[in-house]
Structure 1
Amino acid sequence: MSSAQKTVSVFMALISAMLVLILGLYAAWPAWAWPVAVVVLCSAWAGARFATLRTNRGKPLSETVTAPPAPEVERRELCVQDISLPSALKDYDFLFSATIRWCPEKPYAQENGTYHGGLALQAIVDRAGKVTLAHQPFRSSLVQHELSGVLAEMLPDRGGRIRAMALEVVLRLSEDDQRRLDRLAAIRKDEELWEHERKQEKNKRDYLGHDVLQDTGRAVVWWLARNGEKVERTVADIGLLAQLTSAANNEQVAEPFRHLVPGAVQEKAADVFEGPTDLFTEFMRQMGFKPGDDTCVMVADQVAMAVKDKDPAISEEIRKRFAPAEEPEDAGEGEGGDAAAETPSPGTAEEGPGAPPTDPDSITED
């Protein structure tokens, strides 16, 4: 009989004795009835025990003896805070916090001087580091959710001595690193925006400079395409488009459109006076000097002398351009020239001293 059965038997015997005692007192049994009741009660319990032993005789021990229940596997927990884990960006580490839970791989294994908490911590850190190393630190909250799923399973460590998992995972960056990353992100966004704006501006310049404003004709066609219903306005703006085209190509307004651009005619006249002599001639003209006048000849002479050392060719050109007109040679010059000079020509006395000589042919005809 097992200890449990014995305990039950003793407990039932006590209850039976108390019931007989209560019944005897209530019925007021005589003195001789009490010993008889005790003998009957003991005989009944002896018979019941004998019957129980006879029933269990021949049965295997496993059916009669109940094995003690297995002790509950002890689970342990460890809280860690701000453990540095590497990220894909150098010098920017994640800070890992979690509650680590572990248990021995074998339920009845003894520690034998080994701290299983350290093994569990190493196992969790190794698993977490493999995840964080593949991610940039810009998305720490997103990596935290992924890490929570990876560490939610109880897995063995490398030595197979414990199984570990992590709960309440928190992954973050230090305040300084987060501030730096936010600033880098803002700068990167500004640079990207500036680059797009620069490309857009460059495309516009290439389009206008190499296509639209290549010549006035293309500019007029482009303007007409943008203002298709305003032909008169396009015609009125041809001069403006010619100016834009000439400015875009660093050249003078094209000849066919100069009459549409105010000041273009003056530019053309100025083009004639490109040499120093031409410029000086225009200066003398603007000042009111006329070639052949004494004052004009004197001024031209002085300028020619002043520039002779610098450029003799220009000096000679100025003298020739402003020199007085040469007088025609007299017919009697040479031998006897003086006598001829003194002899007045026919009609000279009548015409006066300032009159030009008379043509001999006209005299003969008369």
Structure 2
Amino acid sequence: MSSGHKTVTGFCTVLLGLVLVLVGLVLRWPVWAWAVAAVAFGTVALALPRLTTPAVDPLSPEFTAEPDRPTDPPERREHTVTDVVLPSAAEDYDFRFSATVRWWPQELPKNSLPFSPVGVAVSAVLERARAVTETWQPQRASLAQHRLVGELAVMLPDSDGRLLAMAENVTLGLAEADAVRLRKLATVRKDEVLWSHERRYERDRREYLGKDVLRDTGSAVVWWLAKNDDQIHKAVDDLGVLAQLSAAANDKDVPDRYAQLVPYRTPAPEVDGSLNGDPSSNGHHGMPSVSGPFSVNGAAAPAPVDAFERLLAAMDVPAGHADSGVLARALYEGAAQVGREQASAAIRQRFDPAAPREPEPEPGLEPRAGLESEAGLEPEAGLEPGSEPSGAHGGGGGADVPEV
């Protein structure tokens, strides 16, 4: 017992005796009560030191053979690995693995070879991690990490059963360059799929419109009525438009029964050639001579004189009226401003009384060359220069051309 324990025991004993004396005086105990209190006080005073004495530690340094020898430090059974390359399901894209490896030694059989627990534990953990990562795509690195945490959180023996190993603080990721490439590839794939769907959608629409809706005019009308079933009169009014649209979709001509209903007719192509096989022209590139009829869309176009006569008839102007000369003169002056006075010369000669007449050729002289072309006529076939023409000059009753 130490001195401190002895002091506390004596203090408690004295305090207890004073309490008993005070209580006995206040209560006026009889003599026998004082005797019993004295016996009890003596018993407690003898038992109190034993009760307050601490138990002896049998392993305390004072009982050891070498009390000053330090104890051995505990064996360290963990190791940290960083940025270990593990394969993924995609070629050339590897995971980066980091973890804290922990192990627990197992009871070894006799005559077993010595080994390094660190190397065996790390090898066992990496083998388990590789079996997990090589089944995951690199773009699923975060999900593969959680899967790997669960797989490596259990202590499992290595292949030879020498120890149990596990891993904590597991991290799994990709190199930054690989992550950028994967994001770009994902964007390209999504754009390609979107473009493929758009192209297929557009092709289906073309086939639907070309082979079903616009197959012919009847199909176009039925399609239009299906879209606008309450506008029958408008469908009838737009029948020509639908016929032209279906014909254009199939690269064909509008059927004859709908030709009169087409509102937008194709303009006549520009005539490039000569009249009646005659290579002569009026001096303008690409414009045929107006001295005879020519073909437009397979039909012979009227001569300028005949066309002007029909114009006068449409304007209710008689052929011999003075207004016909004014109109012929205005046409000639307007044609002269654009360089086409030769085409309207025959019209002016016939309908304008004030127009200068061509002088008759004197006997013994050849007729002036180009007389027929100025009058809007072609020389008759089989006539030689100097022979008598069969028709009148300018279509009227002009004088005959004498022989030379």
Q: Same fold by TM (over 0.5)?
A: yes
In 2: Cα distance, 1:247 partner to 1:294 partner: 45
In 2: Cα distance, 1:99 partner to 1:282 partner: 97
In 1: Cα distance, 2:381 partner to 2:91 partner: 84
Aligned to 2:231: 230
Measured after TM superposition, the shift of residue 298 of structure 1 is 3.0
Q: Indicate whether 1:282 and 2:298 are aligned.
A: no
In 2: Cα distance, 1:299 partner to 1:141 partner: 97
Aligned to 1:162: 163
**Paired amino acid for 2:304:** G
Measured after TM superposition, the shift of residue 193 of structure 1 is 0.8
User: 1:108-127 counterparts in 2 under 5 A?
Assistant: 113-127=114-128
Measured after TM superposition, the shift of residue 286 of structure 1 is 4.4
User: Deviations along 1:279-332, whole A, 9 cap, x unmatched?
Assistant: 963377444278xx9546636869xxxxxxxxxxxxxxxxxxxx969xxxxxxx
**Maintained 8 Å contact 2:85/2:94:** yes
Measured after TM superposition, the shift of residue 236 of structure 1 is 2.1
User: Deviations along 1:128-148, whole A, 9 cap, x unmatched?
Assistant: 111111111111111111111
**Paired amino acid for 1:288:** P
SS of the aligned residue for 2:165 comes to strand
Aligned to 1:255: 256
**Paired amino acid for 1:132:** T
Measured after TM superposition, the shift of residue 167 of structure 1 is 0.9
Between structures 1 and 2, the one with greater helix share: 1
**Maintained 8 Å contact 2:241/2:263:** no
User: Deviations along 1:35-78, whole A, 9 cap, x unmatched?
Assistant: xxxxxxxxxxxxxxxxxxxxxxxxxxxxxxxxxxxx99956111
Aligned to 1:196: 197
**Paired amino acid for 2:89:** A
Measured after TM superposition, the shift of residue 166 of structure 1 is 0.8
Aligned to 2:95: 94
RMSD of aligned alpha carbons: 4.0
Measured after TM superposition, the shift of residue 83 of structure 1 is 0.6
In 2: Cα distance, 1:111 partner to 1:300 partner: 130
**Maintained 8 Å contact 1:297/1:324:** no
Candidates 374, 378, 384, aligned match of 1:298? 378
Distance 1:106 1:153, change over 3 A: same
**Paired amino acid for 1:219:** A
Aligned to 1:79: 80
Measured after TM superposition, the shift of residue 96 of structure 1 is 0.6
Structure 1 stretches of 4+ moved >2 Å: 71-75, 107-113, 262-267, 276-290, 293-302
Measured after TM superposition, the shift of residue 114 of structure 1 is 1.8
**Maintained 8 Å contact 1:258/1:265:** no
**Maintained 8 Å contact 2:86/2:94:** yes
Aligned to 1:104: 105
**Maintained 8 Å contact 1:95/1:171:** yes
Measured after TM superposition, the shift of residue 110 of structure 1 is 11
Distance 1:205 1:157, change over 3 A: same
Measured after TM superposition, the shift of residue 218 of structure 1 is 0.1
SS of the aligned residue for 1:211 comes to helix
User: Deviations along 1:196-252, whole A, 9 cap, x unmatched?
Assistant: 111111110010011110001000000100111121222222222112111110111
User: Deviations along 1:136-161, whole A, 9 cap, x unmatched?
Assistant: 11111111111111111111111211
**Maintained 8 Å contact 1:259/1:265:** no
The TM-score with structure 1 as length reference comes to: 0.56
User: 1:340-351 counterparts in 2 under 5 A?
Assistant: none
In 2: Cα distance, 1:195 partner to 1:239 partner: 37
In 2: Cα distance, 1:299 partner to 1:164 partner: 118
Aligned to 2:312: none
In 2: Cα distance, 1:120 partner to 1:324 partner: 125
**Paired amino acid for 2:122:** L
- Which runs of 5 or more structure 2 residues have no equivalent in the other structure? 15-71, 270-274, 278-287, 307-370, 383-388, 392-398, 400-404
**Paired amino acid for 2:294:** T
**Paired amino acid for 1:190:** D
Aligned to 2:27: none
Distance 1:222 1:263, change over 3 A: closer
In 1: Cα distance, 2:219 partner to 2:257 partner: 14
In 2: Cα distance, 1:192 partner to 1:299 partner: 73
**Maintained 8 Å contact 2:216/2:246:** yes
Distance 1:264 1:254, change over 3 A: farther
User: Deviations along 1:3-24, whole A, 9 cap, x unmatched?
Assistant: xxxxxxxx8xx99xx89xx9xx
The TM-score with structure 2 as length reference comes to: 0.51
Aligned to 1:139: 140
